[in-house]
Structure 1
Amino acid sequence: MSFGRKSLCVALGCVTLNSTPALAAINAPQLGAQYNANHSAITFKAYSSRATRIELWLYAAPSGTPEVARIPLTPGSGGVWSTAVSRARLTRAGIGGAVYYGYRAWGPNWTYDSGWSKGSGLGFVSDVDAQGNRFNPNKLLVDPYARELSHDPTTPANPDGTPYASGPLHRTIDSGSVAPRGIVLAGDQQSIGTKPTRAFKDDIVYEVHVRGLTMNDNSIPAAFRGTYRGAGFKAAYLKSLGVTAVEFLPVQETQNDTNDLLPNSTTDDNYWGYSTLNYFAPDRRYAADRSAGGPTREFKAMVKAFHDQGIKVIIDVVYNHTGEGGAWSSNDKTTYNVLSFRGLDNPTYYTLTSDMQATWDNTGVGGNYNTHNPVAQNLIVDSLAYWRDTLGVDGFRFDLAPVLGNTCEVGCFNFDKMDSSNALNRIVRELPPRPAGGGAGVDLVAEPWAIGGNSYQIGGFPSGWSEWNGSYRDIVRQSQNKLGAAPITTGQLATRFAGSADLYENNGRKPWNSVDLMVAHDGFTLRDLYACNSKNNGQAWPYGPSDGGEDNNNSWDQGGVAADQRKAARNGLALMLLSAGVPMITGGDESLRSLQCNNNPYNLDSSANWLNWNWDTEQTHFQSFARAMIAFRRAHPALRPVDFYSSVDNNGNVMEQLRWFKPDGGVADSGYFDDPNRRAIAWRIDGSELGDPAAAIYVAYNAWSDNVDFTLPWPGTSRKWHRVTDTCNWAEGAGQVRAPGSEDLVGVEGSSYGLCGRGVLLLIAK
């Protein structure tokens, strides 16, 4: 998600809590619902430090039926409440198959009264008390550690969300008949295949929505389109494209069952899924098999399908806020949704304002999850470990990740990467990142911005973390699309192309900690970046309407010339694939997917927002270009350095692995780098220094609108320069990128090459 910056910590005093680092075994208290070894009983455990009574309510069906048992939990040490239920007792209660359950909780603001019944106000004191408690026994609560959910809070059959609300109008509405219920899973030994151990520096990331990947794909059986199983069918295609890591938009349970409630409408739709209801449960909407256990089995089968092709599975996770959301209105501190976390221990799971009456918000979509609280951190770490160990996930991309670096629990926000007790550092300690050279571990990627305070943190994350490099995106976009309007220098470009040492080197991180991107799900597609002067989000279905969206996109329609739009897209893709760092492609960009200038399609669960698999000739040519450029990157380790471009020989001399050139062949100096009137730059990478099959690689980028002659540098002893590709329109077509062994001879040291305006040239020395 992407938001502008604004100050939040103004009117309220900030309180910083300096607690000791939270260290614990993965889910040490065994929270959740788990069968014993012989499946003769289930133990239910939930956390609350403030509840005075918690009851387990058991159901024989996923919805629409009354409870079959109501069992009080016993409080224990450390705020853990528990009970054990035998299989015999379940059978007597009429539960012979899947076990569905939820909790009801009482506390200081709603005291227990034995006369209470569903829909009663007995025991009510306040919707929220001075300590921030929001207990309400009329709300059936989802177990935060449930492994699957029966359904979403609102469904086509029950579209009314008021049963979940507190406040004077809704507090006595009982949610039990419509609320999601947790599902007890028995566990299995289902294979997730062999996890790839590839170094992150060697990855090509493909970001895509699991539903959108196949909903328009007629090669997939209709029953499996838009599902985990359908996504697994695309593993072979992504391998053929050269992709090594698929990054799925959120697949943890979110409110999306009602996306189709109003056909051809975006009203209340949530397509992207950045509003998590439960951090363990795979979203059942993306499962062809939605029976109890079906989403989990199907997700694991999908992971295996990708692993069998050598492709990592990375998932986008949202630990900065939850699907419970914030206040129903800005001037009402009583009316909040009580679905799960809030009804069990509101001050533990959410960062609150200083008066404890409202949620603190750095996300724009609800209150901050309390990432600095050790118990709330436990849930983050425990759920990540579950996705890693049980479901087979290889890495995680963290939405609005500065919230995980927060050091405050009450009345403020403050990002501090040096705080060893923040969630960012704990995740690295307990879920070790993959080593630089590859091996076991997880790939950790941060979206390094949120809203307000010091939450804009590109380059500011601690060791172990990679980041979406928004600075790379912005500078390259401005160079391409804002000629004469943005004072981008060749020095700024060089820094980004070489791995952004200014952002990562002083933090002990490396070029591959920069995830280089030109576009993402959040914003224009690659095609629209070069075909749209501004966003157009108010258009009719299926391309809209969508609200919000960034106004400053650094986009340009290239004067409306279609061939120039395709050239610009080739340039953006080529520059990204030729830069140090880890390139990320957004699904469909390899075939010039367009959303007709909608740059915020978060609510657009439509055919226009699903990937299109019926390409015209130009789209097919662009896909061939993308495939060949990915193959070139993968074939040349010099483009994927483990460290910044320099080395030291046995005598302590620094050996230059990369050298920058002016168009006239002279070495670029600081005067050239710092002059915003210079718009052309070239660089030579010494392949022999980096174990590359090419003795040298030469890239020239001309951001001018007119032709520029580049004088070629030394290609190496007895070597000549050969052209791999020239993105200019004269070369457009299926074979624009030459296959290995068929590159075109273009010259030697001192030869001149005329590169068109706004073009990229790629040569190798042979």
Structure 2
Amino acid sequence: MHPRLRLLLVTVVAVLAAGVISAPSARAAIDAQSLGARRNAAAGTITFRVYSATATRIAAYVYSAATGAQENVSYVLTENSDTFSATVTVADLAAHGVTGTVYYGYRAWGPNWPYNSAWTKGSTAGFISDVDSAGNRFNPNKLLIDPYAREISHDPRTPGHTDASGYRSGANRAADTGTFAPKGIVLTPATGGSGTKPTRAFKDDIVYEVHLRGLTRNDTSIAAAYRGTYRGAGLKAAYLASLGVTAVEFLPVQETQNDTHDVEPTSTAGDNYWGYMTLNYFAPDRRYSSDKSPGGPTAEFQAMVKAYHDAGIKVLIDVVYNHTGEEGPQGDKNTYNLFSWRGLDNPTYYSLTGDRQGPWDNTGVGGNYNTANPVAQNLIVDSVAYWKNTLGVDGFRFDLASVLGNTCQHGCFNYNRTATGTALNRLVAEMPARPAAGGSGVDWIAEPWAIGGNSYQVGNFPAGWSEWNGIYRDTVRRDQNKLGVDAVTPGDLANRFAGSSDLYGDDGRRPWNSINFVVAHDGFTLKDLYSCSAKNNDQAWPYGPSDGGSDDNISWNQGGVAGDQRKAARNGQALLTLSAGTPMMTGGDEHLRGINCNNNPYNVDSSANWLGWAPDANQANFATFTGRLLAFRKAHPALRPANFYTASDTNGNGLGQLVWFTPAGTTPDAAYWADANNHALAWRIDGSEFGDSAPGIYVAYNGWSGDVTFTLPAPPSGKQWYRVTDTSTWAEGPDQVAAPGGETLIGGASTAYALRARGLLLLIAK
């Protein structure tokens, strides 16, 4: 069958199966249902409230300890319009021995396993099937985490309980998990402050993506008890501010399975250093807290956010709403993990195949979260609002975000940018994006791709969303590392350096909606991009072993010449800093952090994968180079345009805020723009139109393997060109980027400048 016919058939089946998205149900406000366990201190009560469209019975089981003991008491919840609830008094809990921390979980029954009065924990009374035709997977032997729990006690697998098989249906359906399963923790509402949020326009931000634990785990300037924690991360705010960072973006900090892998040379199985397998969307991960007592992670996270806010730095977090840590099939259609959502309402929380027997998977890690379902969307919106309003987060980067644009629940996947009922559009509608000029609002960032279907959507996200610009990354890498192999035209480069108007200008978005990056956590570091011609993941600890990782990295080791590797890294960092758009660098790149060519160290929680804080001379020089370039960007608003530059076009017509030049100092014609044999390009920005202290900025880039002489254009009247930096090896050192006032005079119009092979020149008019 032709693939398009197959897709059409699947879509029709999905429509008939009622899988198509409907408009979200009206809500009076975010978190209108008040799901979760809510303490009313004044009334001395706790209300448990949980949603399920198909459950026939749900009971809350309450414990006085997180593990090792049976429940103290259980309460059958009352159902009302698919919401099950019960309010209990603190006095009643105390009468049953629950006087301190209240731990709880849910047991649920439904069509595939209806309630039977003969049922006891560990029995199969009432069992019909592990999964029914509607996709229900109820099993009362599995204690379930409340999806709205504010903290959870521990992970499913812990150092004392490493076997996850007890959580599974199928052959282990009768295994009761009550004594060892994670429990929700009933918290008093968080009251700690997170400081005053920065209101900076996103166009003025410089994003630093980093793993929270890896940021300080290796930093001996921080007390040992705080290394790798929220508190330790907060102590780095001053350093990041001094580097020039204005927004720190942490890899996932929501609870994930990571209790079982402290630092040890271990196999890849189950390790989860990066944290992209979420167990709960509200709870800050306890492993990153120096205070692991109930409420400690929440309070410590808030204090960390305040430390960054006090330094003028935004806090962004990487969130994973496209799949969960429950994973996919564990062998056959009957055998699945039941930690939380799946055991409460599988068809509501997960996208399923047309027959409802398996997951629909655009993630490669177990199946899609059902982002097209209004109730599942409520959880996304409610949890994001909690991190924003209660914990103080300024913005969010969404992993595999095109899954949140899905318009079909079961049996298909279809991304739609304009559908108002998608999670993408609901988030922006209910929590507006930060205005272009700055102010209150959310910085929304998408990783604009997933796996398969129409999920690659770079440049096609709704208004209000910024995107990781993967085309920027690939264009810069190809030009630097694939000379003579990949065809990159001057027109390709110009589009990326000027803010990618071809991607973001057609739908009303701006250059700053392009998150420009050369490297990210998911792939080589900046050093390794220019030091490694291929990945090397199957190596001994502490650099591996890791599985997966792309085989197409567009990388090159620069012939093995260390000086050329550093020069290539300087070029990548300089192009990133001088391009229109919002630059993102990865933690440790300022010190040329490498991990020995491992491009997928998701499981490597080791000193090799943590940031280093004892740089050698070359690393220190690179950090100075980076910091001074960031300061240059911040000092010159002409590099941070709110709108796309007015420019000479690719046919050489017109002048504007930005003018392109060939090395000869002429305007490129159509032939020059389209010829991939041309490997040099220059541009001048008119700073006066941006209120810039520099009336002119000139950048020349030589991507060729030999030296190229650039003829400089005329500077503004009465001015001369001064050199800020030349990335060539001859200039390497602590002053490769001149401090303000220390720039070198080069000359005026028609001055010839010999730019060495694979070098970049930055001039200002003074």
Q: TM-score, normalised on structure 2?
A: 0.97
TM-aligned CA deviation for residue 64 of structure 1 = 1.2
**Residue 538 of structure 2 corresponds to residue 538 of structure 1:** yes
**Residue 165 of structure 2 corresponds to residue 166 of structure 1:** no
2:233 aligned partner: 231
The change in CA–CA distance for 1:745 and 1:6 in structure 2 (over 3 A counts) is: farther
Listed one character per residue, the Cα deviations across residues 121-164 of structure 1 (whole Å, up to 9, x for unaligned) are 00000000011100000000000000000000000100010111
**CA–CA distance in structure 2, aligned partners of residues 352 and 41 of structure 1:** 38
Assess if the C-alpha contact under 8 Å between 1:133 and 1:346 holds in 2. yes
**CA–CA distance in structure 1, aligned partners of residues 253 and 674 of structure 2:** 45
Assess if the C-alpha contact under 8 Å between 1:204 and 1:582 holds in 2. yes
| Corresponding residue SS for 1:506 | coil
**CA–CA distance in structure 2, aligned partners of residues 259 and 7 of structure 1:** 46
Of residues 208, 219, 222 in structure 2, which corresponds to 1:220? Answer: 222
**CA–CA distance in structure 1, aligned partners of residues 338 and 722 of structure 2:** 65
List aligned pairs for 1:67-146, cutoff 5 A. Answer: 67-77=71-81, 79-146=82-149
Assess if the C-alpha contact under 8 Å between 1:6 and 1:452 holds in 2. no
Assess if the C-alpha contact under 8 Å between 2:108 and 2:138 holds in 1. yes
List aligned pairs for 1:281-680, cutoff 5 A. Answer: 281-329=283-331, 332-646=332-646, 656-680=656-680
**CA–CA distance in structure 2, aligned partners of residues 56 and 668 of structure 1:** 71
2:14 aligned partner: 15
Assess if the C-alpha contact under 8 Å between 2:353 and 2:411 holds in 1. yes
**CA–CA distance in structure 1, aligned partners of residues 120 and 432 of structure 2:** 48
Give the AA of the match of 1:260. D
Listed one character per residue, the Cα deviations across residues 487-544 of structure 1 (whole Å, up to 9, x for unaligned) are 0001000000000000000011000000000000000000000000000000100000
The change in CA–CA distance for 1:599 and 1:39 in structure 2 (over 3 A counts) is: farther
Assess if the C-alpha contact under 8 Å between 1:8 and 1:452 holds in 2. no
**CA–CA distance in structure 1, aligned partners of residues 4 and 209 of structure 2:** 28
Assess if the C-alpha contact under 8 Å between 1:537 and 1:545 holds in 2. yes
Assess if the C-alpha contact under 8 Å between 1:720 and 1:745 holds in 2. yes
| Corresponding residue SS for 1:410 | coil
Listed one character per residue, the Cα deviations across residues 436-470 of structure 1 (whole Å, up to 9, x for unaligned) are 00000010000011000000000010100000000
TM-aligned CA deviation for residue 268 of structure 1 = 2.0
TM-aligned CA deviation for residue 594 of structure 1 = 0.5
TM-aligned CA deviation for residue 317 of structure 1 = 0.2
**CA–CA distance in structure 1, aligned partners of residues 208 and 503 of structure 2:** 24
TM-aligned CA deviation for residue 97 of structure 1 = 1.2
Assess if the C-alpha contact under 8 Å between 2:66 and 2:180 holds in 1. no
Assess if the C-alpha contact under 8 Å between 2:407 and 2:422 holds in 1. yes
TM-aligned CA deviation for residue 45 of structure 1 = 0.3
The change in CA–CA distance for 1:6 and 1:552 in structure 2 (over 3 A counts) is: farther
**CA–CA distance in structure 2, aligned partners of residues 39 and 299 of structure 1:** 29
**CA–CA distance in structure 1, aligned partners of residues 279 and 731 of structure 2:** 50
2:701 aligned partner: 701
Of residues 30, 33, 40 in structure 1, which corresponds to 2:34? Answer: 30
Listed one character per residue, the Cα deviations across residues 650-700 of structure 1 (whole Å, up to 9, x for unaligned) are xxx986100000000001122111001100000000000111110010000
Assess if the C-alpha contact under 8 Å between 1:495 and 1:502 holds in 2. yes
1:710 aligned partner: 710
TM-aligned CA deviation for residue 188 of structure 1 = 3.3
Listed one character per residue, the Cα deviations across residues 102-130 of structure 1 (whole Å, up to 9, x for unaligned) are 00000000010112111000000000001
**CA–CA distance in structure 1, aligned partners of residues 501 and 6 of structure 2:** 31
| Corresponding residue SS for 1:212 | helix
TM-aligned CA deviation for residue 724 of structure 1 = 0.2
**CA–CA distance in structure 2, aligned partners of residues 747 and 85 of structure 1:** 80
**Residue 51 of structure 2 corresponds to residue 47 of structure 1:** yes
**CA–CA distance in structure 2, aligned partners of residues 556 and 315 of structure 1:** 31
Of residues 228, 243, 248 in structure 1, which corresponds to 2:250? Answer: 248
| Corresponding residue SS for 2:478 | helix
Assess if the C-alpha contact under 8 Å between 2:448 and 2:458 holds in 1. yes
Give the AA of the match of 1:635. A
Give the AA of the match of 1:33. A
The change in CA–CA distance for 1:644 and 1:612 in structure 2 (over 3 A counts) is: same
Of residues 188, 193, 198 in structure 1, which corresponds to 2:190? Answer: 188
Assess if the C-alpha contact under 8 Å between 2:193 and 2:302 holds in 1. yes
Assess if the C-alpha contact under 8 Å between 1:107 and 1:133 holds in 2. yes
**CA–CA distance in structure 2, aligned partners of residues 568 and 175 of structure 1:** 54
1:722 aligned partner: 722
Assess if the C-alpha contact under 8 Å between 2:701 and 2:759 holds in 1. yes
Assess if the C-alpha contact under 8 Å between 2:23 and 2:374 holds in 1. no
Give the AA of the match of 1:401. A
List aligned pairs for 1:680-759, cutoff 5 A. Answer: 680-759=680-759
Of residues 144, 154, 166 in structure 1, which corresponds to 2:157? Answer: 154
TM-aligned CA deviation for residue 396 of structure 1 = 0.1
Listed one character per residue, the Cα deviations across residues 361-389 of structure 1 (whole Å, up to 9, x for unaligned) are 00000110000100000000000000000
Assess if the C-alpha contact under 8 Å between 1:22 and 1:421 holds in 2. no
**CA–CA distance in structure 2, aligned partners of residues 647 and 84 of structure 1:** 65
User: Where does structure 1 lack aligned partners over 5 or more consecutive residues?
Assistant: none
Of residues 52, 67, 70 in structure 2, which corresponds to 1:66? Answer: 70
| Corresponding residue SS for 2:477 | helix
Give the AA of the match of 2:52. S
**CA–CA distance in structure 1, aligned partners of residues 264 and 753 of structure 2:** 58
| Corresponding residue SS for 1:307 | helix
- The alignment covers a number of residue pairs equal to 754
TM-aligned CA deviation for residue 11 of structure 1 = 8.5
Listed one character per residue, the Cα deviations across residues 537-596 of structure 1 (whole Å, up to 9, x for unaligned) are 001000000001011111001011100000000000000000000000100000000100
**CA–CA distance in structure 1, aligned partners of residues 108 and 40 of structure 2:** 25
TM-aligned CA deviation for residue 191 of structure 1 = 1.0
The change in CA–CA distance for 1:76 and 1:703 in structure 2 (over 3 A counts) is: same
Give the AA of the match of 2:61. W
**CA–CA distance in structure 1, aligned partners of residues 492 and 117 of structure 2:** 69
Q: CA RMSD in A?
A: 1.6
The change in CA–CA distance for 1:660 and 1:112 in structure 2 (over 3 A counts) is: same
Assess if the C-alpha contact under 8 Å between 2:265 and 2:542 holds in 1. no
**CA–CA distance in structure 1, aligned partners of residues 124 and 146 of structure 2:** 23
**CA–CA distance in structure 2, aligned partners of residues 110 and 616 of structure 1:** 63
Assess if the C-alpha contact under 8 Å between 1:264 and 1:542 holds in 2. no
| Corresponding residue SS for 1:365 | coil
TM-aligned CA deviation for residue 260 of structure 1 = 2.4
**CA–CA distance in structure 2, aligned partners of residues 172 and 262 of structure 1:** 34
**CA–CA distance in structure 1, aligned partners of residues 668 and 734 of structure 2:** 35
Give the AA of the match of 1:99. V
**CA–CA distance in structure 1, aligned partners of residues 437 and 180 of structure 2:** 50
**CA–CA distance in structure 1, aligned partners of residues 339 and 114 of structure 2:** 19
Assess if the C-alpha contact under 8 Å between 1:663 and 1:682 holds in 2. yes
Q: TM-score, normalised on structure 1?
A: 0.97
